[in-house]
Structure 1
Amino acid sequence: MSENSLFALLLRSPWWISFVLVAALALVSRALLPAEYFVLGALSGFPLFVVGCIAAWRQLRAPSAAKVQQMLDSTQSMPWSALSQALTHAWVGQGFDVNVASKGPVDLRLTKGEQTILVSAKRWKAATHGIEPLRELYNAMQAQNAQGALYVAGQGSVSESAALFARDHGITLVQGPALAALLLG
């Protein structure tokens, strides 16, 4: 699904917006269509109703802002071994096989079927995340024929050039609320 499609936008919006659109579509159908076509017009909003249900389910299951902040605070005090275990547990819960990489920019290797994703996470406490670790991760991704890469930035900021490099080279930045949501499962 395209990131800017109507359904994608509604999935990222508050759940009730989809239901308001369904109601508006039903009202417009009632006002503009002949009586025998009203039901068809009103039912055309059914896909929006389904999207609203999915958005509501996701939003009700999402961790609260307080839980997210608490998790982010706890990751700042975690040693590498604890963070590595927490990340491994989260990805195993998503169905990945997780292997610890022995050296280089790759810390963990995730596999699911034929898909391989490389993870660089040891610099999660860095104050600033520049382009060089991302470049090393990208080179490892190319050398190992991985389908994707994740760079975990638990603290600090990612420079603009690093964020652009990650976007342009298929590296997903996992930071802030996304990191907390991953660890909270």
Structure 2
Amino acid sequence: MKLKMAEKSLFAYLLRSPWWVSILAACGIGLLGKIMFHGDYFSYALTLTLPFVVIAMIVAWRQKDVPSQSRVNDTVEAVIAMSWREFSALMEQAFRRDGFEVRRINGAADFLLTKEGRDSLVCCKRWKAASQGIEPLRALVAAQEAQEAREALYVSVIDLSDKARQFARDNRIALMLAPQLTRLLRLPKKSLPRTPIGTK
């Protein structure tokens, strides 16, 4: 039998919160125990802080590679200002850095990635389009079937509509939105390309 934590429980809330929230809770319990108890009773009260410390460690581990909101905002600001040539070159460099073989293609997808014998199609030409409907995703699915690719990835810094998200889920299309794109590109804060990609 698999136990499931209640979504609205205190520990579930802490697991969704920044790690320092659990540390603050542990400190608060420790301070309260110091005020109310002495001697062995205080030692017992301190043991109540252990679950909160453990949760803080779990959350910190989960969030160690998660970019801050300010860094995400800086990345969005930078890539929206880029031309397609600049953005596509950065994407290609980032994929190669992560160990993919990258081939540019035309049509519904922009890149064919290969790694460990698995092919993936990537569509990112509409990365900053104001509206993100289902049509580009539907075209990507058709291209995936035609190429017999194992996976498909759709890239956008603009959030998708609920219908587009549902279509992506139904068709197993991976979405790379602003937080994931921030981790992939690893741009410095407040950084905009000063020279065209590929020039010295």
Q: TM-score, normalised by structure 1?
A: 0.67
Instruction: Name the counterpart of 1:175.
Output: 177
The 5-angstrom pairing of residues 97-136 of structure 1 reads: 97-136=100-139
Shift of 1:158: 2.5
Check the 8 A contact 1:22/1:49 in 2, yes or no.
Answer: no
* Deviation of the 1:132 alpha carbon: 1.0
Distance of aligned partners of 1:116 and 1:96 in 2 relative to their CA distance in 1, 3 Å threshold = farther
Deviation at 1:167, TM superposition (A): 1.5
Q: How many residues align?
A: 176
How far apart, in 2, do the equivalents of 1:174 and 1:128 lie? 16
Instruction: Give me the whole-angstrom Cα distance separating, in 2, the residues matched to 1:23 and 1:131.
Output: 49
Please report how far the alpha carbon of residue 108 of structure 1 lies from its aligned counterpart in structure 2 after TM superposition. Answer: 0.9
- Of Structure 1 and Structure 2, the greater strand share is in 1
State the Cα deviation string for residues 8-63 of structure 1 (Å, max 9, x = none): 98665312355578899xxxxxxxxxxxxx9xx9988897465245146335xx34
Long gaps (5+) in structure 2: 1-6, 29-43, 188-200
Alpha-carbon displacement from aligned partner over 1:96-144 (angstroms, at most 9, x marks no partner): 3242332221101222213322100112232211111101111222232
Structure number with the higher helix fraction is 1
Describe the shift of the 1:112–1:47 C-alpha distance in structure 2 as closer, same or farther (beyond 3 A).
farther
Match of 1:160 among 162, 172, 176: 162
- Residue 58 in structure 1 maps to residue 60 in structure 2: no
CA distance in 1, matches of 2:166, 2:132: 12
Give 2:121's aligned amino acid. Answer: L
Distance 1:96 1:46 in 2: 36
- Normalised to the residue count of structure 2, the TM-score between the two structures is 0.63
Aligned with residue 79 of structure 1, among 61, 83, 99? 83
CA RMSD of aligned residues (A): 4.0
Contact 1:15 1:55 in 2 (8 A): no
Corresponding residue for 1:138?
A: 141
User: Sequence identity, in percent?
Assistant: 34
Structure 1 segments unaligned to the other structure (5+ residues): 25-37
Q: What residue number does 2:31 align with?
A: none
Supply the distance in 2 between the matched residues of 1:64 and 1:102 (Cα, whole angstroms).
33
> Counterparts of 1:16-55 in structure 2 under 5 Å?
16-17=20-21, 48=55, 50-55=57-62
CA, structure 1 residues 54+137, in 2 after alignment: closer, same or farther (shift >3 Å)? same
